[in-house]
Copies of this chain bind each other. A is one copy, B any other.
Amino acid sequence: MKHKGKTNPPGRIKIMKAFSLLMAEKDFHSITTAEIARTAQVTEGLIYKYFKDKKDLLYQVLNDHFFEFQTHIENRIANEKTCVEKLKVIIFSSLESYAANRIFSKILLLEVRNSLDFFESGAYEMVREYARTILDIIEKGIETGELKPETDPHILRKVILGAIEHACLGEIIFGRPLDIDGVSTGIANIVFNGAKR
C-alpha cells in the first residue's frame, strides 16, 4: 500500500457532520445533496466518493451513533446481577439515550425502517445484536426462575422494545420533554408486575 492505513479524510467527516446537523432540523427526504455539500463546504460530487448514495450516508451516520448507544448500555448491564435489574437498566438507559440523542433516535425510529436495504446494512446488524442481548437476558431470567416460566421471551422482548420506542416518539416528533425516570419505572412496573389487580 502507498498511503498509510489512515483513513477517514476530512471531507468525509465534514459531510457526516453536516448531515447530522441538518437531520436535527428536518427530515431525511427534505435534505438535498446540494444542501449537504454547501453545509459541509465541499462539492456535491465528493459525497458520492465516500457514500454509495444518500441513504448510505444515513446508514453510516446511524452506525456511528448506534455504536455509542450500544457500548454505553452494555457497560451498564454488566454492573447488574439479576435479570429484572438488567432489564430495568435497559429500559432506563434506552430512554435516556434516545432522549439525549435526537438525531440517532429520529434516524433509527423514523427514517430507516421504510427502506428494505437498511436491513442489509451494518447498522441493522447492531440492532440485531442488541435485540439478541435482550433475549438472552430474558431466557436466563426464566431459567433461574426470576420470570414466570410461561413467559414467551420473544413477546416479552417485543413488549419492552415496543414500549420504549413508543414512549420516545412524542419527544422525537414533537420535541416534547420526556420524564425518563417516571416513564421507565412506569414501564417496568407494568411489564414486571402487571396492570391488573
Which residues on A are within 8 Å of B, measured CB to CB?
27-29, 84, 106, 110-111, 113-116, 119, 145-148, 150-152, 155-156, 158-159, 161-167, 169, 173-174, 182-183, 186-187, 189-197
Contacts and interface: CB of A to CB of B under 8 A. Distances in A.
A113 B110 contact: yes
- Interface of A (DSSP majority class): helix
Given A192-B194, A194-B192, A115 B27 contact: yes
A179 B21 CA distance: 42
A195 B156 contact: yes
B148 A158 contact: no
Contact of A190 (B84, B110, B119, B191): B191
Nearest to A145: B197
Contact of A27 (B114, B166, B194): B114
